[in-house]
Amino acid sequence: MKIYHSIAQFKALATGVATAGTFDGLHAGHQAIIQRLIDVAKEQGGESILLTFDPHPRKLIHPEFDLALLTTMEERAVLLDEMGLDHLIIQAFDKTFSMQSSLAFVRNQLVSQMGVKHLVIGYDHRFGRNREGGFDHLVEYGPVYGFDVEEIPVLEIDQMHVSSTTIRQAVKSGDMQAATKGLTRPYQVSGQVIQGHQVGRKLGFATANMGHIHPDKLMPAIGVYAVTIDVDGDQQLPAIANHGVRPTFGGKSEPVLEVHVFDCDKDLYGHKMVVHFNQRIRDEKAFESPSDLSDQIALDIQAAKKIHNLQ
């Protein structure tokens, strides 16, 4: 997959098959759009293109909005590459770009700059200044500028309307199984292992403290989770994680993510780590003593190993 950091860097294709949007989460509904995109490109002898935006448009349009990303741009790029997308264009979403009319966007960006001959969009997709453009505009513009357009309907899984909003709500509440269902994969948080206060080691359970997490990344609800981890892109390892403020030790102003990897004696400091959240085990709570907390951690590990089918 080729990555471009503006539409201007892209050279128009003879037969471009494109979609556009933020695709935060790259959930099951998004995947249906991308898969259709790839299939049509193959049918027409063209190449698939996804135009996305960074930062998220809400950062500019609603700066007061507390943005919480399901996927960082880096995470999305990896997932799109795995799906087989040909071209990913990451366009800076600034005031100038946002002020384009829907017609100018179609004529100047999609058609002239990208060479789009077929457009695949999701249900209720909006674009252009003040979100003025929609499917009806594209149907109108298509014959004039020589492209076809199709709309992919909304997706439901087990009566759940799959959207970034519903998945975000699941993650916020700690319902990782619902999030997994909508995403078609466990929710993940990427970062780097940093030096901590070695509280876990003193309790008999060494932990890796996660740092360098994207500031806009949505974190799961406070609590204890069964997780799997990747270290430097290596194989997934079963583990347990606590996302919280360490109330037994006086608490912290900001929650931290700590991971205990089963039967691992490797020094993880400085390594890149991806944490995949499988299932929530319990709330975080304060214990009367460190020994009481240590006893509970041992029980939590048993519960996590059962979830991982290790018992």
Please, are residues 200 and 258 in contact by the beta-carbon 8 Å criterion? yes
pTM for the model: 0.90
Ranges in the chain annotated CATH 2.40.30.30: 187-307
> Bigger pLDDT: 101 or 57?
101
Report the C-alpha gap between 42 and 62 in whole angstroms: 38
Architecture (CATH level 2) of domain 2-157: 3-Layer(aba) Sandwich (3.40)
> Residue by residue, what is the 3-state secondary structure of 240-299?
EEEEECCHHHCCCCCCEEEEEECCCCCCCCCCEEEEEEEEEEECCCCCCCHHHHHHHHHH
pLDDT digits (tens, 9 = 90+) for 148-185: 999 988 776 665 678 899 999 999 999 999 999 999 99
Reply yes or no on whether the pLDDT at 62 is more than 90. Answer: no
Best CATH choice for the domain 187-307 from the list 3.30.1490.20, 2.40.30.30, 3.40.50.300, 3.40.50.1980: 2.40.30.30
pLDDT at 13 over 60: yes
The b/e string for 181-202 (b: 16+ C-beta within 10 A; e otherwise) is bbbeebbbbbbbbeebeebbee
| Token pair 């991806």: residue | 274
Q: CA 51 → CA 5, 33, 129, 134, distances in Å?
A: 10, 13, 17, 16
Residues 6+ apart with CB under 8 A from 115: 12, 13, 14, 15, 16
Half-sphere exposure of 264 (CA within 13 A, CB side): 21
Cα–Cα distance list, 85 to 95, 149, 155, 297 (Å): 28, 19, 21, 43
- Res. 26: pLDDT tops 80: yes
> How much is the pLDDT for 199?
60
Residue type, 111: V
Calpha distance 123→235 (Å, rounded): 36
Average pLDDT, rounded, for the chain: 89
Write out pLDDT tens, residues 243-302: 998 777 666 678 999 999 988 777 788 999 999 999 999 998 888 888 888 889 999 999
Query: pLDDT: is 65 or 114 the higher one?
Result: 114
Where along the chain do the CATH 3.40.50.620 domains lie?
A: 2-157
For residues 275 and 229, the answer to whether their CB atoms sit within 8 Å is: yes
